[in-house]
Homo-oligomer: A and B are copies of this chain.
Amino acid sequence: MTPRQARSHEAPAADSPTRPRVEGDREREILEATLDVLVEVGYDRLTLDAVATAAKASKATLYRRWNGKASLVVDALAHDKGPSPEPPDTGSLREDLRQAYCGLGGLASPRQTALFGSIITAITTDTEFAEAFREVVVGPKIATARVIWERAAARGEVSPDADLEVLEPALAGILMHRAHLIGQPPTPDLVTRVIDAVILPAARAAGTGTGTPTTTTDPKDPS
């Protein structure tokens, strides 16, 4: 069992997120309890005391494995997602995207929405959480999308003019917005519809010829 310690710029953790994590039963129980508390009270009100009580563990046990709330909650969210599956590789961008995103399943479940609201709140209130969350939870999703898109580009399915940094996360953004803000759960039909109506046309499009260079760079982008 590998305890995950603080992720900080000064002292990079020995347990890098790129290294597969080994979860023991006890750790798993604590992470499950963390999720339960998170769904019930939200990030702001979550305390290590409450998690310890829910997990029937001592606070000392928690502090041996996590250095605080942010790292515990990020680990719990990563645990909830499970290990990143291998990106699908069907030989078609459309089918790869369908397979990767139609399994998005829980996105619109009340539990997932509660978790998501809590996360958005925590991203504002806790910089350490925001950084860890983007690295541990968002990062692997973007990496999966990148593999799918790179294979499609290698097959010639993507225009050389396509702006992949914008395109790769676009499908997730459109689906999450529909799920949370419009209230429309991402069924496989809807996922397919967004792929066909927005993503594939953008992938195939040649330059827009508007003369506007797309030179924006983003130091935070995890590419």
* A-to-B contact residues, CB < 8 Å: 41-42, 44-45, 94, 110, 113-114, 116-125, 130, 134, 138, 142, 162-163, 166-167, 169-170, 172-178, 180-184, 187, 189-190, 192-194, 196-202, 204-205, 208, 210, 212, 214-216, 218, 220-222
Residues of B within 8 Å of A163, CB to CB, are 193, 196-198
- Known contacts A113-B123, A120-B116, A121-B118; is A196 also within 8 Å of B214 by CB? yes
Residues of B within 8 Å of A222, CB to CB, are 182
Beta-carbon contact of A198 and B202 below 8 Å: yes
Chain A at the B interface: mostly helix, strand, loop or mixed? helix
Cα A175 to Cα B216 with chains together (Å):
14
Query: Which chain B residue has the least Cβ–Cβ distance from A187?
Result: B216
Query: Which chain B residue has the least Cβ–Cβ distance from A184?
Result: B218
Contact pick for A176, options B142, B177, B187, B189, CB 8 Å: B177
Contact pick for A216, options B177, B190, B218, CB 8 Å: B190
Cα A37 to Cα B41 with chains together (Å):
17
Residues of B within 8 Å of A167, CB to CB, are 197-198
- Known contacts A204-B201, A214-B196; is A178 also within 8 Å of B169 by CB? yes
- Known contacts A173-B177, A197-B166; is A221 also within 8 Å of B42 by CB? no
Residues of B within 8 Å of A218, CB to CB, are 184, 190
Q: How far is the CB of A83 from chain B (nearest CB, A)?
A: 20
Beta-carbon contact of B204 and A134 below 8 Å: no
Contact pick for A180, options B44, B120, B196, B198, CB 8 Å: B120
Q: How far is the CB of A153 from chain B (nearest CB, A)?
A: 14
Q: How far is the CB of A109 from chain B (nearest CB, A)?
A: 9
